[in-house]
Amino acid sequence: MLTSVFYRFLTACLFFVSTGLLASEGEKPDVLFKAAWLKNEAQSYLLEHRNYSLEQGDTTELETITLMADVNVQDSTGDRYVVVWSFYDFSMQSNHYPSVWLMQHIKDLKISCRTTPVGVLKEFPDLANFHKGLDEAVESAFASYQGLPSETSRARVYRLREDLESFLLMTINHVHQAYGLGYTPGEVVDVPDKMETRFSETAIDAVVRKKLDNYDPETGVAGLVMATMLDSAQLNRAMQEYTASRDLKQPIYRQENTAALVMHIPSGWLLYGFDKREVYQGKSLYGEFFEITHLQNTLFIE
């Protein structure tokens, strides 16, 4: 049953982007996304991240990273939560063997975060240790690699290390972005934000359109769908600089960003989430898709 709920939210995201829905009429109760965690409470998740490229509809590149994450509430007080994310069981599907080799050398990577009493993310107090863990994995991978990878391969591994760090931190930010906010079912809310793009070294101004697509009072499950609209002038300027610096012709360009969160409102725990970003350049497409799935989600809705 829950799987069908997830697919409904995926469909809703597509409809949401294309129509720009208006807020529904009539008063309905607000649904507040807030943490209600207990000290020492823990949940487990499966994470998957895919990068893909298509040329005229044919897949030219596909890389998939999967891993597990345990989320433990280390401390709970009247003014904060301290939550520890533990990442493990890293694996990667790719035709670049040094990158696959790196994933096998990442062991029990951890990072803690502090939040407000309702779950709004505030800071990562041990970010330096998190960086160190990733750096040590790269050193270990190169030290045990049979033969010396080429300069190009080494650069690709270092780039993967940076991408992996961004992905893991993005996962935590993705989970916490809804906390502390209340929504009326069917109402659309526009929130100013900034969006990273592969074509610019600086973030581009954006508006995140959010809509509470579904709420079931009996199960306490709510689904929030989101779409991000980038500032077109900043985006075009970034594209011009990107193509000029690489002596490329600038093709027709557009970017689509959609996301969703499914949460168990009484407990404040995430059940499912995804973030999808696709860049269209002429007949080429570059995509990035991330999803996080609670491993015991049926415990919340039975």
Distance CA 274, CA 258 (A): 8
CB-CB neighbours of 212 under 10 Å: 23
Residue pLDDT, tens place only, 194-222: 777 666 677 888 888 889 988 999 999 99
Number of domains in the chain: 1
Q: Is the pTM of this model over 0.75?
A: yes
Q: Is residue 18 part of a domain?
A: no
Q: Is residue 21 part of a domain?
A: no
Q: Is residue 12 part of a domain?
A: no
Residue by residue, DSSP assigns 99-141 as HHHHHTT---EEEEEEE-TT--EEE-TTHHHHHHHHHHHHHHH
CATH number at residue 238: 2.30.230
Q: Is residue 143 part of a domain?
A: yes
pLDDT computed for residue 297 by the predictor: 61
Q: Is residue 291 part of a domain?
A: yes
What tokens were used for 250? 């600038």
Least confident range of 37-46, 136-145, 175-184: 136-145
Distance CA 178, CA 268 (A): 10
Q: Is the pLDDT of residue 168 over 60?
A: yes
Least confident range of 17-31, 129-143, 229-243: 17-31
Cα–Cα nearest to 255, from 211, 197, 194, 175: 197
Residue pLDDT, tens place only, 66-108: 999 999 999 999 899 999 999 999 998 988 888 888 888 888 8
Q: Residue 21 — very low, low, confident or very high, per pLDDT cuts 50/70/90?
A: very low
183-206 per-residue burial string, b: 16 or more CB within 10 A, e: under 16: bbbbbbbeeebebebebbeeebeb
Q: Is residue 302 part of a domain?
A: no
Q: Is residue 47 part of a domain?
A: yes
Query: What is the span of the domain harbouring residue 262?
Result: 26-296
Q: Is residue 188 part of a domain?
A: yes
